[in-house]
Amino acid sequence: MRSRRKAVGRTTTVILLAIAAALAASLAIVTLASSPTISATSTTSTHQTTAVSCVTASAAALNLSLSLTSSSIRTGQDIGFNASLFNTSCAENDVLATDDWGAPDLVIGPAGPTGSPIAYAVVQGFYTSANISSAPTIGYGVFGTTVMQGIKSYAFQPKSDVASVMGPCGPDACFTKSMSSSGGFNGYWSRQQIIAFTPGTYTVVVADEWGQVATSSFTVQG
């Protein structure tokens, strides 16, 4: 009897141990299943490089612009203006002086070239760059900015209206300055004399020595 009881006790113990092991395994499986899953993602950033286009350095890269201080004035008042040559290229722009003035009959007369890449005048009437050649010839005299004679070339800085002027000063630049002109008018040239503004429409015309012309009109009221 005692041997049987011992055998039964041992069998019971083995069964209980097996059940406990099974429960532990089940708990481990449940724990693993309910644990959060951590995933790693990698992000690859792509840098795109945009090519910047650069206008070819030449006389064609120069832009002549003109602005007036007002579109209308009274008799007795002056009209102010500002004209400039801007190098649109992102490179230094060396251009030779050519004396190919865009409106020679208007801005260049017996007084000769101004020695500056910009010359200007005022004419009576309304004109644009398309028909300015039909404006009356000034005759004698020219409004202009005389910098110096004997200029050979202009070295414009990139994206700028500043240029070094090369001329009779040797191998170095004579000077470096903004290629712009500004001033005011209280009359216009006609028949070799300046006539005061009277009520009407007038046009300021500027030209450079590479053939460009720009115009802007204004009215004079009594």
52 confidence band (pLDDT: 50, 70, 90): low
62-81 residue pLDDT tens: 999 999 999 999 999 999 99
- Domain hosting residue 12, numbered range: 1-34
Does residue 44 fall inside a structural domain?
no
Does residue 42 fall inside a structural domain?
no
Whichever domain contains 212, its CATH number is 2.60.40.10
pLDDT the model gives residue 212: 93
Does residue 72 fall inside a structural domain?
yes
- Number of domains making up the chain: 2
Residues 23 and 82 in one domain: no
Q: Specify which residues 51 forms β-bridges with.
A: none
Does residue 155 fall inside a structural domain?
yes
3-51 residue pLDDT tens: 444 444 555 544 445 554 554 444 444 443 444 443 444 444 444 545 5
Residues 107 and 141 in one domain: yes
Phi, psi for residue 215 in degrees, rounded to 5: -130, 155
**Model-level pTM?**
0.70
90-142 residue pLDDT tens: 999 999 988 788 777 776 554 445 556 888 888 889 999 999 888 876 654 44
Does residue 39 fall inside a structural domain?
no
